[in-house]
Structure formats: C-alpha cells, structure tokens
Structure 1
Amino acid sequence: MRERIIALFGVIVVPAVTYYAPAAPEIAGALLAFVLVWIEPAPAIAELGLERPRRVWRTLALGVGFGIGLFFLNRLLVTPMIEYITGIRRDLTRFDYLRGNVTALLKLLPLIWLTAGFCEEVVYRAYLITRIGKLLRNSNAARIAGCLVGAGIFGLAHWYQGVAGMLVTGTLGLLLGFLFLQQRRNLWANIAAHIMADTVSLTAVCLGFDRSVDEFGRSLLGL
C-alpha cells in the first residue's frame, strides 16, 4: 500500500515539478523521481531503467537509429499530417535564433542532452510508465496506459509549439514509450534516441535545411 500511495503522489507531482519548477524544472523533476522511487523503497537505478544494458553498443546503436528515424518520421509524415488535420502550423520560432548561429547551437546542445535527452526520458517514460504500471498491477493495459499518460503530459509540456506542436510531440512521446517497453524498460536506447532526434533537429535549424525537409514532407503527402 505504501508503494502505491507514493506512486500515486509521484504520478501527479513529478510532472508538475518538471513543468512548474522555477529553475531547471526538468532536472528537478528527474531528481524528485529518483527520490520517490528510493523512499518506496525500491532500487531507483533499476526501477528507472538505468541499469547497464546487456549489449551496450547494440542498445546505443538502436537508440541512435531510432532517433534519426524519429526525426524523418516527424518531419516527413507526423508534422505535415497533424498540421493538415488541425489547420495550424507547428510553432518552432522559439529556435529561430539558432539559424546560422553555430556557436549558439554548440552552447544549447549539452543542455538539451541533459534536460531533454536524459531528464525528460526519466520523467515521461521511465517514471510515469513504471509507476502507473505499479498502480494498475503491471498488466499490459497498465503499460499502455502509462505510455498514453506519459505521451499526453509530454505533449502538453511543449505548449509553446501550439496545438499542432503538442500533438506532434505527444505522438513522438508515444513512440518513445513503446521503445521503452520494447527494451524491457531499459531507458538507455530512449536516451540515445531522444538525444539524437533533438541533435539532428536543432542542427537542421542551424544549417537551414529544416524547412526544406518540411516542404518535402508536405509535397509527399500532396499538401
């Protein structure tokens, strides 16, 4: 009972901290997730999928490949389809300062690797999926519910991208949730995938070929 009460508390509070903390919210949310798992008590490293994978290089290679695939799936299919359905363009103007600015890109990437690649995966995939699973007795339905809830909150956290952006990131979050389950709740492939997808995406903005990829995706769909 104690573990389930803590899990319920965490499912509500950890995403809130990750969103609302006044400083370093993603880091604060991930740290809180570690603390709550530890006081359940449970082995936090194992519970959050951070044990060393049996095949390290294979896991990382899978993650890198998945991340690259996620970038192209996003730009060529998911984003244009959601923009067409909603009639609203995804708002990525927040990153326009990176255009042609390699110095800004190099300063931003390490922060993105930590806050998005690591901390967001700990919170939205590892923590929410495993804790919702614990609340619902670790059934297959519980795992799917965890993926859906994690993806939904992940999408809402990207509110600055507008309605289309929230739907896009929620969809990508769902795919990352399925990857986490496919990896038997080991998080390292997810971390590699998220880091790679964000790195390719931000580099595309910096080098100016993101819009070309987007237009190509729309043309493929006849939009």
Structure 2
Amino acid sequence: MQNKVPARLQIYSLDQKNLIGMSVLFLLAAYFTLNYISHTFYSGELLDKSSPGNWLYWLNSVLMAAVVYFNKRIFNWSWSDLGLAKPANWWQPVLVALGCFASVLLYSAIIAPWVKETWGDLNISHLYVLKQNLPELISALVSVWITAAFLEELVFRAFFINSLEILFGPGKWSAFIAVAISALIFGGIHAYQGISGIITTTIIGIIFGIAYIINGHRIWPLVLVHGLVDTISLISIYNMSV
C-alpha cells in the first residue's frame, strides 16, 4: 500500500476487509458490554476511582485505543489516516469548529426543548457527585478531555467512518452512509442517558461526522468542540445546588 494515498481510498483484499469488519464488531461488542455493566451496576460510582465501574470505564478507553492501534499497525496506517493530520490551513479548522459549536447551540436552543418535553430529561445522575465538588470536577474535566473529547473523536469519527468507507468501497454516498451509521452507534453508546440522550448524541454525531468529512477527515476541531461542550456541561452540574 502506498502511504501517499489516504487509507480509506486504498484497495483492500476481501480478507483485509473482513479483518477491519471484525475489528469494528469486536470493539462495539466489547464497548457496549462494558458500558452496560458499568452503568447498570455501578452507575452511582462511575467517578469513584476505587469503584469497579470506574475501572471498567478506563478499561473501555484502553480497549478502544488498542483496537485502533492494532489496525494502524496491521494495515500500516499513518496517524494522518486516523484524523490526526496537520490542518491544511489555519482558517478551515477554525470555521469548522465555529460551525460545529454553532450547530450544537442551535440544537440546544431549538430542538432540545422539544426532545426534553417529549422524552424527558437526560439521565445524567451519575454526574451529580460533581455538585459543589471542585476536586471531582477537576478530575472529571481531565477525564473527559482525554476519553471523550480526544478518544471518542478518534474512534467514533476517524476510525469508524474511515473503516466503514473502506468496507462500503468507493462511491458517491459511502462517506454519508458511514457518517449516519457512526452517528447511530454514537447515540447507542449513550443509551444510559435515556431516549433523550440517544436522540441528542445521535444528532451531535451527525453534525460532527459531517464536519469531519468537510474538514478533510481531520478531528482536531471536533476534539476542541467536544471538549468545550462537555466542559460547559460539567461546570453547569458543578454549579447546581446540593
């Protein structure tokens, strides 16, 4: 394979596609299983570093990173192939980040109230330990920038979308189908937040997926916006009265 050609545009054998497909399925099966166990049996202890729920949370993160790295080594992908290429210019990632953030704000202002009224509040009770708890807030912020902002964008945008594009093959709609599927998966992993959480994160997944394609398959603006949105959310919970 020629590294000058983006990984998603290279030609893969049937065996190679099968391996990529199995990697995706394994990651999903393991992630959903660990996520289900941690949020079902340890939902109130996820931020407690001595809790098995917290250990499962970090195990999930390590597992995701390991699967991505495994595929990188097996197929000789570069980090650029996984969304970590340098920006082509300074203004494109800025515009993409602003567009993403504005889209999230519009969703929050226009659609989210209807979702809340129809399906109820997001279930984020596992985060209520952050209320007026500065040490826990700082710890949670560090965690979300690593595992949510960076790792989730690396996996659910770069790795999944690229892998699905490879599996579907070159075509006019391959990228958009890949974005839609990755967004549904992204919504599914937030099922513990209830139907409102699934709808919200699926829509955000679509926004971020489209932005990923527009930005030349680079994740840096998405990492920034994802981190900022989560930071605002966590600080809002911190400021709630106990």
TM-score strictly above 0.5: yes
Partner in structure 2 of residue 89 of structure 1: 121
Q: CA RMSD in A?
A: 2.2
Aligned partners of 2:183 and 2:209 also within 8 Å = yes
Q: 1:108 to 1:62 in 2, by over 3 A?
A: farther
Is 1:47 aligned to residue 81 of structure 2?
yes
What is the 5 A alignment of 1:128-207? 128-207=160-239
**Aligned-partner Cα distance in 1 for 2:195–2:95:** 30
Partner in structure 2 of residue 117 of structure 1: 149
Q: 1:92 to 1:167 in 2, by over 3 A?
A: same
Q: 1:73 to 1:156 in 2, by over 3 A?
A: same
Is 1:26 aligned to residue 58 of structure 2?
no
TM-score calculated relative to the size of structure 1: 0.82
Aligned partners of 1:17 and 1:29 also within 8 Å = no
**Aligned-partner Cα distance in 2 for 1:143–1:152:** 14
Per mean C-alpha deviation after superposition, the further-off stretch among 98-107 and 21-30 is 21-30
Is 1:78 aligned to residue 91 of structure 2?
no
Between 1 and 2, higher relative CO (CA 8 Å, sep ≥ 6) is seen in 1
Is 1:100 aligned to residue 132 of structure 2?
yes
Per mean C-alpha deviation after superposition, the further-off stretch among 140-149 and 67-76 is 67-76
The AA in structure 2 aligned to 1:132 is L
Following TM superposition, by how much is the alpha carbon of 1:103 offset from its aligned partner in structure 2, in angstroms? Answer: 2.3
**Aligned-partner Cα distance in 2 for 1:198–1:34:** 25
The AA in structure 1 aligned to 2:81 is E
Misfit runs of 4+, over 6 Å: none
**Aligned-partner Cα distance in 1 for 2:235–2:59:** 23
- What's the CA shift string for 1:17-49, capped at 9, x where partnerless? 33335443023212211211321x132412211
Partner in structure 1 of residue 18 of structure 2: 5
Q: 1:66 to 1:60 in 2, by over 3 A?
A: same
Partner in structure 1 of residue 9 of structure 2: none
The AA in structure 1 aligned to 2:88 is R
Partner in structure 2 of residue 16 of structure 1: 29
